[in-house]
Structure 1
Amino acid sequence: MTETARIERDIEAARARLEGTVNELAYRAQPKVIAERQAQSLKLKLNEATHTPDGDLRVERVGAVVAAVVALVVVTALIRRRGRR
């Protein structure tokens, strides 16, 4: 094989790798794919925060979250009520 043929083969291989990289980046940059990735990450974090490594529910953490949500709802209701007067 001549030196020119080897260089051309190397260039083609580099182009193929670059094309694959560009295609992967274009796929990852799609808004739908980004949203799916974020949703999956959020679900995983929520599961880790509310369950032990064995899969048991962490009642104390779930209770704290429920209490925080209830407090937020109460505060929101009070603010709305005050604004109507």
Structure 2
Amino acid sequence: MSDTARIEQDIQAARARLEGTVNELAYRAQPQVIAQRQLQGLRLRLDAATHTEDGELRIERIGAVVAAAVVVVVAVGWLRRRR
């Protein structure tokens, strides 16, 4: 294979790699794809916060969140009555 043919082949391979990279970046930049990634990350964080590695519920954490929500609701109700 001549040097010119090899260089042309290298250029074609580089173009193909570049095209793949540009297509992947264009896909990742779509708002729908970004929203899906964010939602998936949120679900994973919520699952990690509420479940152990074995899949068991973390009752102490869920109970603390429920208790905090009750406190907020009571405080808001109390503040509204004072007005």
The alignment covers a number of residue pairs equal to: 83
> Any idea what SS the aligned residue of 1:43 has?
helix
Q: Distance in 2 between matches of 1:32 and 1:3?
A: 46
CA shift at 1:65, angstroms? 1.1
CA RMSD of the aligned region, Å? 1.6
Shift in alpha-carbon separation, 1:52–1:3, aligned structure 2, 3 A: same
Where do 1:17-32 residues align within 5 Å?
17-32=17-32
Q: Distance in 2 between matches of 1:80 and 1:25?
A: 50
TM-score normalised over the length of structure 2: 0.87
Residue 66 of structure 1: aligned partner: 66
Q: Distance in 1 between matches of 2:55 and 2:47?
A: 9
| Percent identity (aligned) | 71
The residue type paired with residue 28 of structure 1 is R
CA shift at 1:79, angstroms? 4.8
| Segment drifting more, 64-73 vs 37-46 | 64-73
Q: Distance in 2 between matches of 1:22 and 1:78?
A: 56
Q: What per-residue deviation string (whole Å, max 9, x for no partner) do you get for residues 31-67 of structure 1? A: 1101100101111111111111111100000011112
CA shift at 1:19, angstroms? 0.4
Gapped regions of structure 2 (runs ≥ 5): none
